[in-house]
Structure 1
C-alpha cells in the first residue's frame, strides 16, 4: 500500500508472494468497531479460510502439495536424447542428457495457507475488540514460505 498506514476492514485484499492471485481478508462477525459501516479487523484476524482466503495456486517448494506434484512430474519424465544433428549423427551416437543437467520442473498446487500467528505491526494504541487494530502496513507469513502483505485496505473510496 505504498507506505500507507490506514485501518483494514472486512473485504480487504492481501497478496502472498508464493500465490497466484490476491485473496480477501474477511471477518465473519464484527468486533463492534466500524469504518464507513464496514467491520474493522484486528491483528488476530489471521486464521486461514475463516479470515484469510486462499491465494489461488501455490508455487512454494516447501508446500507438500507442490512437492507431490513435482514428484509426479519427475517420475513421468525420462531423460531426452541429445540431438546431435544429422551430419554429426554419422559420426556420433545419440546420448542421454543427464537429469541433473535439466532444469527442475516448475509445479504448482492449490493454495492452502498455513498462517499460525497474528499479523505483525498492528496499531498498539487502537483496540478493535480485545486486540490491536490491523493496519494496511501489517504483514504475515505462511509456514510454506510465503510473505503476505496487505494490498488493499478494503475501505470504500
Structure 2
C-alpha cells in the first residue's frame, strides 16, 4: 500500500537546491491525519508547488542566461517551478475530489527538465490503493 500525500508533504526537485512543502488548498477536500488530502491536480506552480531554492537546470532560461554571462560556468538562479502536467500516475482506486489521489510514488515534471518527487508524504498511518 502507498501513503496518502497531504498538505505539508516534503517535495524535492532533481534540479532544485532545497526541499519544499506541498500546499493543498482545503476547498471541498477530505482530510487525512488532520491535513487536506492531495490529488493529482495539486501541481500548480507557486500555489501547490513552491520554489526549490536555486535551479540548476540548463533548460531554465534564467539559468541559461546567467551561465552564458558567466562564460559557460553553470550559474544557478532562483527556482520558479513550471509544472503544467498533473502528478503521475496517481492512485489506482482512491479518489479525492473525484480525481486520483496523490500518493508518495507519484512524480511531476517541470518544464525545465526537473522531476519533482515526494520525499515524505506527511502521513504515517493513511494508506491508499
Offset, 1:32 = 2.2
Conserved in 2, the CA contact under 8 Å of 1:31 and 1:128? Answer: no
Equivalent residue number for residue 148 of structure 1: 116
Q: Provide the rounded CA distance (Å) in 2 between the counterparts of 1:148 and 1:123.
A: 17
Q: What stretches of structure 1 move > 6 A for 4+ residues in a row?
A: none
Deviations 1:127-154 (A, max 9, x none): 1012011000000111101011100101
Conserved in 1, the CA contact under 8 Å of 2:63 and 2:74? Answer: no
Mapping for residues 109-148 of structure 1, pairs under 5 Å:
109-148=77-116
- 2:46 is the counterpart of 1:49: yes
Q: Provide the rounded CA distance (Å) in 2 between the counterparts of 1:64 and 1:122.
A: 30
Q: What is the number of equivalent residue pairs in this alignment?
A: 125
Structure (1 or 2) with the greater helix fraction: 1
Instruction: Mark the runs of 5 or more structure 2 residues left unpaired by the alignment.
Output: none
Conserved in 2, the CA contact under 8 Å of 1:25 and 1:53? Answer: yes
Q: What is the TM-score with the length of structure 2 in the denominator?
A: 0.90
Q: What is the TM-score with the length of structure 1 in the denominator?
A: 0.75
Higher-Rg member (1/2): 1
Conserved in 2, the CA contact under 8 Å of 1:31 and 1:40? Answer: no
Conserved in 2, the CA contact under 8 Å of 1:9 and 1:155? Answer: yes
Conserved in 1, the CA contact under 8 Å of 2:4 and 2:102? Answer: yes
Q: Provide the rounded CA distance (Å) in 1 between the counterparts of 2:7 and 2:20.
A: 12
Q: CA RMSD in A?
A: 1.5
Instruction: Mark the runs of 5 or more structure 1 residues left unpaired by the alignment.
Output: 75-103
Offset, 1:71 = 2.0
